[in-house]
């Protein structure tokens, strides 16, 4: 009888390699279906939205006994920690409230996994695969009852070659009204 032993890092490496390959194929396929960067990012966001809706269902069932967050900070913390850890193996680098607008929050990641494996041609310099993650976040929020506009942005870091990715969340007015009523 032969037994096989695999270390958790070997499994993680294979999973990461498989994800990188599959995500690269998704990007390449979608690139052939559109005429510009905005449409490509929109398609990736739509794909991410479907993932986010399913991740919410899975995690609410597995982690919370089918209960869902009802308050703004609770759902943001859930995404920043639980969702991020399940999807990316770690908690997001930061979660911040916008200083200029009451309805904005930001999740920042120094090296977002989906941007790590994609080489962006010079003619697509503004393209951000973080649109897929923005879609995931929007899918979680929308299906949890927190409608928002969610976008991904590169933010330069002084002294670093690669910018960080910030997922900007702008909540719908109804969410803020409900939050103020709940106190």
Between 96 and 111, the higher pLDDT residue:
96
pLDDT at position 83, please? 94
pTM, rounded to two decimals: 0.87
Q: d(Cα 183, Cα 181) in Å, to the nearest integer?
A: 5
Q: Among 93-97, 108-112, 179-183, which is the least confidently predicted range? A: 179-183
Average pLDDT for the chain: 86
| High-pLDDT (> 90) share of the chain, % | 51
Give residue-wise pLDDT tens across range 104-114. 999 999 988 88
Domain ranges of the chain: 8-182
> CATH for 8-182, among 3.30.1380.20, 1.10.10.1100, 3.40.50.700, 3.40.50.300?
3.30.1380.20
Which of 46, 81, 147, 161 is CA-nearest to residue 115?
161
Contact 75, 136 (CB under 8 A): no
111-155 tens-digit pLDDT: 888 888 776 666 667 788 999 999 999 999 999 999 999 999 999
Alpha-carbon separation of residue 133 from 4, 8, 43, 65, 146 (angstroms): 35, 25, 12, 25, 17
Rounded Cα–Cα distance for residues 135 and 51 (Å): 8
142 or 160: which leads in pLDDT: 142
């Amino acid at each position: 009888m032969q037994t096989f032993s695999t270390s958790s890092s070997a499994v993680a490496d294979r999973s990461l390699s498989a994800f990188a390959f599959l995500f690269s194929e998704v990007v390449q396929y979608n690139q052939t279906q559109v005429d510009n960067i905005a449409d490509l990012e929109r398609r990736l966001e739509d794909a991410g939205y479907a993932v986010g809706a399913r991740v919410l269902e899975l995690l609410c069932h597995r982690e919370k006994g089918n209960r869902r967050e009802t308050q703004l900070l609770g759902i943001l913390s859930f995404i920043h920690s639980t969702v991020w850890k399940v999807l990316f193996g770690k908690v997001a680098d930061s979660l911040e409230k916008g200083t200029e607008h009451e309805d904005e929050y930001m999740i920042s990641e120094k090296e977002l996994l989906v941007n790590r494996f994609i080489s962006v041609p010079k003619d697509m310099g503004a393209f951000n695969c973080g649109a897929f993650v923005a879609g995931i976040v929007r899918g979680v929020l929308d299906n949890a009852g927190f409608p928002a506009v969610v976008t991904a942005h590169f933010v330069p870091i002084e002294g670093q070659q690669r910018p960080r990715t910030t997922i900007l969340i702008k909540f719908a007015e109804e969410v803020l009204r409900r939050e103020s009523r709940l106190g």
